[in-house]
Structure 1
Amino acid sequence: MKIVVLAGGLSQEREVSLVTGTAVCRALRKGGHRAVLVDLFLGLEDYDGPLEAVFDAPDGRCGDAAIKTTAPDLESVRRSRKDQGPSLIGKDVLNVCALADLVFVGLHGESGEDGRIQATLDLLGIPYTGSGHLSSAMAMDKVVTKRLMEAAGIRTPKWRLVEYGEAEVEALSEELPMPCVVKTPGGGSSIGVYMPETREELKAALRDLLHFDGQIIVEERIVGRDIFTGILGDRWLPSVEVISAKGKFDYEAKYQSGGALELCPANITGEQQEEIGEMALNLHRLLGLSVYSRADFVLDGAGVPWCLEINSLPGLTSASLMPKEAAAVGLTYEELCEEIVQLSLRRTCHHAANDCQGD
């Protein structure tokens, strides 16, 4: 099949997405597909051949993507595009997607996980991997997810939504309960997530979070073990326990070698795995997610799991958790990517008005 692997974009998770997209593209090409990596934001501005021929470009136009220890400089990315227009979609992106049999969405963060690119592809009648636009948008919004978890009885830490400005920082830093977690409602890859230990650290976190949108979630901090559980199709996968080298699973710990110890399957009881797996699957279904996702948990000192959030497009880099969970049930990386493709084609056919079959 001709497959566009859409990655990059203009979110704080741009570098993670490019590494995901590169790995996926090479895996799909290894499986016999005519896959090509396309940056959502930069597009094909450096390609001057026939558009149809791009699917046969050497190595699928994959480069040497890497994740640095800090989030990318998005203004520098903006300036690097020849077309300085306002669109978040680069040159010929939608045209090449229209030529593909499927778009593999390797995006993370804004424009990728928030449902906007899915809605665009839906309007153009272009099939793509993963969840639809509405469920993607709901899963990306932690406020919506929290409210649905509470309504459905899925155990989650106490939380509140706070809107504030610079004038309220001092008062909030003294009033908010400690220990707590403060985070932006729409972030990912642990960007915009703070676990302050002191009131001064809380004040600094509140000031940093003003760079997002003036809204934050303040969440009760559950001290315990970090557990992550993937959903693939209609089943949950063995959980991963992550033990950060510096005590918190932040952006650096997630993507830098030696940043964390990952145990898969997690060292938990069968009963705990069953409860965590079913909580993840219930939330996946509650939000109407499709194909795959990953839910994040904390297992407290009493062995009770608390669900924090769910990701509709979990990372598929070599350091990501989803491939490790798939490997625990005997799926190679290439097989995982192929299963995502086939499950997505099935979802597309199910929603189509006419009968169809995946190739």
Structure 2
Amino acid sequence: MKIVVLAGGISTERTVSLVSGTGVCQALRRKGHQAILVDMFMGLENPPADLNTLFDAPDGLCPDVKIEVQAPDLDVVRRSRPDQSPSRIGPHVLDICRLADIVFLGLHGQDGEDGRIQATLDLLGVPYTGAGYLGSAIAMDKIAAKEMMDANGIPNPKWQKLTYTEEEIPQLAETLPMPCVVKAPTGGSSLGVYLPKDRAELADALRQVRSFCHEVLVEQRIYGRELTDAVLGERYLPPVETFPSVENFDYEAKYQAGGAKEICPAELTEEQAKAVGEMALRVHKALGLAVYSRTDMIMDENGQLWCLEANSLPGMTPTSFVPKEAAAVGISYDDLCEEIVRQSLKIKRR
């Protein structure tokens, strides 16, 4: 089977995406598929006349990349593309996607999880993995996702959507309920997320978050056990519990060695593990997701579960949460990647 693994893109999760995509591409090649990795933003420079020959590349076109401590400088990435077109899709990307039997979406963040590339591939009639354009868009927008969760009776922290001017920040900082979390609604990899400890930090967070977005999500902060659980097909996998090593679990802490300890399966009672899994399934269905997803939640001191957000294209590096959860039930990384392809091919998109 000819498979294009589409990764990279032009979001703050660019390098995470490239590492995920490389892992997936190599896994699918080990399963005997003609898989190649294509960077959606960079595209193909000086491609051969017959693009089909790219599927025979011995290295799968996989780059040598690792997740850096700091988020990528997207201005530098833009300037490095030989094609200086304003398009967010690089040269010949859609041409090679048309030749594939399926496109494995290894993208994260904007343009990958927000439904835009899914809609583009739908219009081209190209099969792809995971959720469709609508479910992807809802899950990516934390405000839209919370509205859907509220409508479906899924417990989530109290929240409000704000738009404000610089002049209104002092008053907001004095009147918003504390403790709270300030978020960019479409952020990822813990970027644009602030956990103010006092009202002075809240004012600073309200200023900083506006560099990411116009509408701001302010959410009740709930303390407890940090859990995440994946859905694969029609079932949930064993949950993971995360123990951050630092109080402010930002991008740097998230991707540096020792930034967090992860236990899979989480040390929960059978009843608790079932409740976590059932919530992940409820969120998956409520948001209209497909094939696989991962839902993050908090279990408070009373055992109450609160949904934080859902990931329609969760990380797929060999050490990411979903592969860890799959391994806990005997599904190897290579088999997981192939299973995602197999289930995605069954979906009728239009």
Q: In which range does the TM-score fall when normalised by the shorter chain?
A: over 0.9
Paired residue secondary structure (2:241): strand
Cα distance in 1 between the residues matched to 2:26 and 2:196: 40
Cα distance in 1 between the residues matched to 2:328 and 2:29: 23
Instruction: Identify the residue that residue 217 of structure 1 maps to in structure 2.
Output: 217
Contact (CA 8 Å) 2:140, 2:312: kept in 1 or not? yes
* Offset from partner CA, 1:301-354 (integer Å, 9 cap, x none): 112111111110000113311111011111111011011000101114xx56xx
* Offset from partner CA, 1:273-317 (integer Å, 9 cap, x none): 111111110111111110000000011111211111111000011
Contact (CA 8 Å) 2:41, 2:90: kept in 1 or not? yes
Identify which range, 261-270 or 44-53, moves more after superposition.
44-53
Cα distance in 2 between the residues matched to 1:261 and 1:80: 36
Instruction: Identify the residue that residue 239 of structure 2 maps to in structure 1.
Output: 239
Cα distance in 2 between the residues matched to 1:157 and 1:286: 17
Paired residue secondary structure (1:182): strand
Instruction: Identify the residue that residue 62 of structure 1 maps to in structure 2.
Output: 62
Contact (CA 8 Å) 2:239, 2:264: kept in 1 or not? yes
Amino acid at match of 2:220: E
Q: CA RMSD in A?
A: 1.2
Deviation at residue 247 of structure 1 after TM alignment: 2.8
Instruction: Identify the residue that residue 305 of structure 1 maps to in structure 2.
Output: 305
* Offset from partner CA, 1:49-74 (integer Å, 9 cap, x none): 63111111121011111111121100
Paired residue secondary structure (1:61): coil
Contact (CA 8 Å) 2:139, 2:287: kept in 1 or not? yes
Question: Is 1:270 aligned to 2:270, yes or no?
Answer: yes
Against the structure 1 CA distance between its residues 285 and 92, is the aligned structure 2 distance closer, same or farther, given a 3 Å change threshold? same
Paired residue secondary structure (1:59): coil
Instruction: Identify the residue that residue 112 of structure 1 maps to in structure 2.
Output: 112
Amino acid at match of 2:279: M
Instruction: Identify the residue that residue 10 of structure 1 maps to in structure 2.
Output: 10
Instruction: Identify the residue that residue 26 of structure 1 maps to in structure 2.
Output: 26
Cα distance in 2 between the residues matched to 1:299 and 1:199: 26
Instruction: Identify the residue that residue 74 of structure 2 maps to in structure 1.
Output: 74
Identify which range, 199-208 or 99-108, moves more after superposition.
199-208
* Offset from partner CA, 1:111-146 (integer Å, 9 cap, x none): 000000000000000000001111111111111111
Cα distance in 2 between the residues matched to 1:169 and 1:317: 40
Q: How many residue pairs get matched?
A: 350
Instruction: Identify the residue that residue 166 of structure 1 maps to in structure 2.
Output: 166
Contact (CA 8 Å) 2:185, 2:213: kept in 1 or not? no
Paired residue secondary structure (1:60): coil
Identify which range, 64-73 or 325-334, moves more after superposition.
64-73
Instruction: Identify the residue that residue 355 of structure 1 maps to in structure 2.
Output: none
Contact (CA 8 Å) 1:14, 1:72: kept in 2 or not? yes
TM-score, scaled relative to structure 1: 0.95
Instruction: Identify the residue that residue 346 of structure 2 maps to in structure 1.
Output: 346
Deviation at residue 48 of structure 1 after TM alignment: 4.2
Cα distance in 1 between the residues matched to 2:46 and 2:19: 20
Instruction: Identify the residue that residue 154 of structure 2 maps to in structure 1.
Output: 154
Instruction: Identify the residue that residue 198 of structure 1 maps to in structure 2.
Output: 198
Paired residue secondary structure (1:347): coil
Trace 1:272-291 onto structure 2 (pairs within 5 A). 272-291=272-291
Trace 1:313-324 onto structure 2 (pairs within 5 A). 313-324=313-324
Amino acid at match of 1:95: D
Against the structure 1 CA distance between its residues 26 and 172, is the aligned structure 2 distance closer, same or farther, given a 3 Å change threshold? same
Question: Is 1:143 aligned to 2:143, yes or no?
Answer: yes
Gaps spanning 5+ residues in structure 1: where? 353-359
Against the structure 1 CA distance between its residues 319 and 257, is the aligned structure 2 distance closer, same or farther, given a 3 Å change threshold? farther
* Offset from partner CA, 1:230-285 (integer Å, 9 cap, x none): 00000001000000111344323332221110000101111111111111101111
